[in-house]
Amino acid sequence: MKLTILFGGASFEHEISIVSAITLKEKLENFTIDFVFCDSDHSFYLIDPTKMKAVTFSKGLHKKMPKLQMTQGGFEQKTLMGKKVYKSVVLNLIHGADGEDGTIASLLDFYGVKYIGPRTAASVFSFDKVYTKYLCDAIGVQTVRYEVLKRDEQKDISLAYPVIIKPARLGSSIGVSIVKDASELDYALDTAYEFDDTVIVEPFLEGAKEYNLAGYKADGVIKFSIVEEPKKEEFLDFEKKYMDFSRSEHVLKADIDEELVKKLQINFKKVYDGLFEGSLIRCDFFVHDDEVLLNEINPIPGSMANYLFEDFAQVIEELASSLPHKKRINATYEYIHSISKAKGK
């Protein structure tokens, strides 16, 4: 299968996207892949597959490679003989801003490019943690209690300590802090406000179990991964998550009963259906006091959560053949013609 992997982007998770792309190069070795890198200045480059190494980007060597631009249906490279067009299904692997906030989805839709990844509406509701709470409330999925704080509207919190402070529009645990008492609050807020003007405050759920479940829709059916119980300490910090993005080895299935698996799948389906078609997403859940609570939606999970699926290559092939079709509207000018005709013009 031919595939274009789009990675990079202008976000705090730029480097993590590079790590994910390098991991998938090894995982999809039987695919014919064009690697398209989006630099932090929003320039696109065609990366030599043999140069898919972290130093290629950290040393700026990618700038010596062919520059691309968007065109109808794909990317094109200007050459001495004219232009070369690259058209294949694009896998959106840009984490964070650009990739998960709807920017790239809108751009790909605008140019009529087929792609695997969240569409614009799905990106809006999953990128902003406040909007995720609104979504879950509307579809009947329980979440952790929360409060919203804004930099310019500072107020005290009413939740009992300990609490978790999170930037509203950031992933990979960047800017996240556990606050055990009021004396630690200001520092945690200052840290979070370095990355976002809005933060989410949630209670720290002592003894909660966390489970990750990924899935996608193909042939009208949602296909689930195994359920994983991540091993961690208080929470999965940036350094641990950074390493997590390079995972490719299959992980062990969580030791839980089928009843809980079904509950997780039912909640996943509520989140996915009608919004995330065309995407492979991962939902992270807490189970606390026998309640299933959605923690967050990962619309472009690290390394596409390949480690949760037995045959990841088949997953990508099935997704690529089951992408939603966006109807394009052609301008007919019938209204203008009818007005002109009525005026005798």
The CATH number that applies at residue 55 is 3.40.50.20
Question: What does the alpha-carbon distance between residue 300 and residue 281 come to, in Å, rounded to a whole number?
Answer: 6
Question: What does the alpha-carbon distance between residue 345 and residue 110 come to, in Å, rounded to a whole number?
Answer: 34
Q: Which range marks the domain in which residue 167 is found?
A: 147-203
Question: What does the alpha-carbon distance between residue 2 and residue 283 come to, in Å, rounded to a whole number?
Answer: 28
**Residue where a domain terminates, one of 183, 203, 223:** 203
pTM, two decimals, is: 0.90
Q: 325 in a domain, yes or no?
A: no
Q: 166 in a domain, yes or no?
A: yes
Note whether 264 and 292 are same-domain residues.
Answer: yes
Note whether 256 and 314 are same-domain residues.
Answer: yes
Note whether 136 and 261 are same-domain residues.
Answer: yes
Note whether 104 and 12 are same-domain residues.
Answer: yes
Q: Mind listing the pLDDT tens digit of every residue in the chain (345 residues)? A: 999 999 999 998 999 999 999 999 999 999 999 999 999 999 999 999 999 999 999 999 999 999 999 999 999 999 888 899 999 999 999 999 999 999 999 999 999 999 999 999 999 999 999 999 999 999 999 999 999 999 887 777 899 999 999 999 876 677 899 999 999 998 999 999 998 899 999 999 988 999 999 999 999 999 999 999 987 655 545 455 545 556 667 888 999 999 999 999 999 999 999 999 999 999 999 999 999 999 999 999 999 999 999 999 999 999 999 999 878 888 889 888 888 777 766
- Collapsing DSSP to helix, strand or coil, 67 comes out as strand
Among residues 121, 133, 131, 46, the alpha carbon closest in space to that of 88 is found at 46
Please count the structural domains in the chain: 3
Q: 273 in a domain, yes or no?
A: yes
Which amino acid type is present at position 162?
Answer: P
Note whether 161 and 281 are same-domain residues.
Answer: no
Q: 333 in a domain, yes or no?
A: no
Note whether 258 and 134 are same-domain residues.
Answer: yes
Note whether 14 and 80 are same-domain residues.
Answer: yes
The CATH number that applies at residue 211 is 3.30.470.20
CA distance between the termini of the chain: 54
Q: 280 in a domain, yes or no?
A: yes
Note whether 302 and 239 are same-domain residues.
Answer: yes
